[in-house]
Amino acid sequence: MNPASNNKIVKRYKIEAKTGYGFRVEKGQRLRIVDLEGEQVADLVCFARHDPHEYLSSGRSINYAEKIYLSGGDVLYSNRSNPMLTIETDQVGRHDFLFAPCSQKMFAIVYDIHEPHPNCLENLTQSLKPFGISEDQIPIPFNVFMNAQVSEDGRINILPPLSKAGDYIEFRAEMDLMVAVSACSALRCNNFSWGPIGIEIRENEQR
């Protein structure tokens, strides 16, 4: 279940609370996202290195998984129906794939907050700018550790993440990727406090 977990770490990075980070991942490498202090959501988006018009697609991934909560063994697909990331290890088991990244306008509409507020859309945009990707290209993220519970009638209840300090999810990259991750600064989905997110990239020993 966890074949790559002891492989050599080629990159380790701490995303401070309410900020984002953009980086490259090679095909076959493992990407681990760690909730360092617990109950912290991490918005993840990715793009094909060969062409940023190929991007993470919630709609394709949900279609092929035939479920809305993806976990160990499930595959995150691109808009062109190619596998981008496979979830190899999931210590938490609950993530969201429905919500757009929080944004300045979201804080105004949902929370009536009108002064500037750190937000995932801006974090992801800034993190992806060096790769030539613009705000409008940012797709619906895989919202790691976000616990949006959908009831039988379709209503959504945003609950605290199930992740405790040190819990992680680990993906295998199925193609060369540009990735951005944001330590989410929304209120309810992080149980009204904000922490950092750890990033670890492990080499694929079979390469």
CA distance 84 to 97: 15
Query: Phi/psi zone of residue 203: left (φ > 0), alpha (ψ -120 to 50 degrees), beta?
Result: beta
Beta carbon of residue 60, minimum distance to a second copy (angstroms, whole number): 5
Beta carbon of residue 141, minimum distance to a second copy (angstroms, whole number): 8
**CB 17 within 8 Å of CB 165:** no
> Residue 150, interface with a second copy (CB under 8 A)?
yes
* 3-state secondary structure at position 44: strand
Binds a second copy by CB under 8 A, chosen from 9, 14, 109, 111: 109
> Residue 193, interface with a second copy (CB under 8 A)?
no
Beta carbon of residue 91, minimum distance to a second copy (angstroms, whole number): 18
Q: In DSSP terms, which residues pair with 38 in a beta bridge?
A: 164
Beta carbon of residue 143, minimum distance to a second copy (angstroms, whole number): 10
> Residue 57, interface with a second copy (CB under 8 A)?
yes
Question: Which one, 10 or 100, has the nearer CB to a second copy?
Answer: 100
> Residue 110, interface with a second copy (CB under 8 A)?
yes
**CB 162 within 8 Å of CB 95:** no
Beta carbon of residue 19, minimum distance to a second copy (angstroms, whole number): 21
Binds a second copy by CB under 8 A, chosen from 13, 16, 63, 192: 63
- Contacts with a second copy in 129-148 (CB under 8 A)? 134, 136, 138, 140
From the number of C-beta atoms within 10 Å of its C-beta (0-12, 13-18, 19+), residue 173 rates as buried
Residues 6+ apart with CB under 8 A from 153: none
> Residue 45, interface with a second copy (CB under 8 A)?
no
- Contacts with a second copy in 153-182 (CB under 8 A)? 153-156
Write a three-state SS string for 104-137. HHHHHHHHCCCCCCCCHHHHHHHHHHHHCCCHHH
* CA triple 98-102-103, angle to 5 deg: 135
- Binding positions for a second copy, rule: CB under 8 A: 53-55, 57-60, 62-64, 66-69, 79-81, 98-101, 103, 105-106, 109-110, 134, 136, 138, 140, 150-156
